Amino acid sequence: MFNRIRPQDMNWNPFQAIGSDWALITAGSGDKLNTMTASWGGVGVLWNRNVVTCYIRPQRYTREFVEREAFFSLSFLPEQYRKQLGYLGATSGRDEDKIAVSGLTVCRDYEAPCFEEADTVLICKKIYVDEIKPQGILYPSIKSDNYPGHDYHFIYVGEIVKALVK
């Protein structure tokens, strides 16, 4: 179903893929997994490794899974799944089996679960975690616009161990 490529051979725009098209951050093992929609993140190089950077608010259920597991995935789905992406970003997995309700198919063939409907998947090994510190934000409007509840994101850096495409 997926073909493995080198991360440096990916031919897509991360600004479009993450910021506009969105991605699903997924972690877990066995029947215990969760996913959330993300529109903030990055792809690049850190410590001589190909990495992704993900941002997850402390109250998100998915954060518990990303914290617990060594691996997580980013699944990039085609536009036809926009409704499911919206639903998965607005509904908590604590309240219902949102993956089942979404109708998406979990793929468990890799180190982290991902989605068969994706056209690109990045399997990532967690290599760094920290919390955004309010004193490090240099512009007050960033805090007031993005953190009125003072729920500063956790930052996860994952080394891309597999880049998969259809």
Q: What is the pLDDT of residues 3-41, one digit of tens each?
A: 999 999 999 999 999 999 999 999 999 889 999 999 999
- The number of domains in the chain is 1
Amino acid identity, position 11:
N
DSSP state of 59: T
> What is the span of the domain harbouring residue 146?
3-165
Across 8-153, the runs of DSSP E, i.e. the strands, are: 23-29, 32-38, 41-46, 49-56, 71-76, 106-107, 114-115, 120-131
CATH code: domain of residue 79: 2.30.110.10
CA dihedral (63, 124, 75, 107) in degrees, to 10, reads -90
pLDDT digits (tens, 9 = 90+) for 41-71: 999 999 999 999 999 999 999 999 999 999 9
